[in-house]
Amino acid sequence: MRINQILIFLLICNFSIAQRVKDTCMNIPLAPFHFAGQTPMGDLKQRFGDNLDVGAGFLYKFRKSWTLGAEGSYFFSKNVKEDVTKQMKNSEGFIVDNEGFPADLRITERGFTAYLLAGRVFPKLGHNPNSGLMINLGFGYLQHKIKLYDANKKIAAVKGDLAKGYDRLSGGFAMQQFIGYLFLSNNRLVNMIAGFEFHEAFTKSYRGFNYDTGLPDTKRRTDYLIGFRIAWVLPLYKRTQDFYYN
């Protein structure tokens, strides 16, 4: 009997929450977890090709449809265009290890972003008052580098801190724009965000000197990323606000 009462209570609560989402514009904390594919532009295009991006954040949607939040993401790729190992290669185009054998040096892209966000949801274009066209602006930081991984630990040129002379570590102030759609289902089962994102970063090298060229690296860079993002969203409703009973 007690189990039946609990099940009935949960059904009533879930129905009440669903009615609020469907009929009322609410204050809703959101925890999005996203995946994106991105294409570099500007100076970044000379160094890397297309990449993947994963991340998470926190977004608070106010009753009047404004949003505030923060997010971080990690991007990565095997598409490295800039050849930082040409001085290590022999006449046949191979990198050899300390024992004279072909080396297993894996070169990839690694980077991350961190943003504070502000934006707005336009519910008139949505299927309920808490969904609709979403526009967000972000201000924060972007960093990227070339990762050199010596799988067998037998290449003296990239051992320890020596790899920093080749990794092109760069970072700086960044901005982000996002335009897409926020979908919050009436029953809380399917909640997502999908749309296009744009990043502009004003970066510089943190190394100052590149071992492969023998030259200082003082260039001011303008790096861009353009991508499409899909996010699964966990809505963190406050129960005391989202249902009531007599």
Count of domains in the chain?
1
pLDDT of residue 94: 87
User: Is the pLDDT at 117 greater than 90, yes or no?
Assistant: yes
Per-residue pLDDT tens over the stretch 166-185: 999 999 999 999 999 999 98
**Higher-pLDDT residue of 7, 202:** 202
CATH of the domain at 59: 2.40.160.20
What does the pLDDT look like over 15-24, one tens digit per residue? 444 445 555 7
Other CB atoms within 10 A of residue 50 CB? 14
* pLDDT of 236: 85
In the predicted model, what is the mean pLDDT of residues 39-66? 97
| Residues listed for the chain | 246
Residue 2 has a pLDDT of 58
pTM (predicted TM-score): 0.85
Domain limits for position 23: 2-242
Tens digit of each residue's pLDDT (9 = 90 or more) over 133-174: 999 999 999 999 999 999 999 999 999 999 999 999 999 999
pLDDT the model gives residue 14? 43
pLDDT for residue 114: 98
Give the separation between CA 235 and CA 139, rounded to whole angstroms.
24
Q: Is the pLDDT of residue 246 over 90?
A: no
Residue 192: both structure tokens together: 């997502």
Other beta carbons within 10 Å of 66: 12
Among candidate residues 139, 135, 142, the one with its CA nearest the CA of residue 178 = 135
Average pLDDT, stretch 68-90? Answer: 95
Higher-pLDDT residue of 54, 12: 54
Place of tokens 């801190």: 161
Mean per-residue pLDDT for 22-33? Answer: 86
Burial 208-221 (b: 16+ CB within 10 A, else e): eebbbeeeebeeeb
Count of C-beta atoms within a 10 Å radius of residue 83: 11
Give the pLDDT confidence score for residue 49 in this predicted structure: 97
Q: How far apart are CA 186 and CA 14, in angstroms?
A: 10
Average pLDDT score over residue span 185-195: 88
Q: Are 209 and 13 in contact (CB under 8 A)?
A: no
- pLDDT at residue 6 is higher than 70: no
What CA–CA distance (Å, rounded) separates 200 from 175? 5
Question: What's the CA gap between 17 and 241, in Å, rounded?
Answer: 9
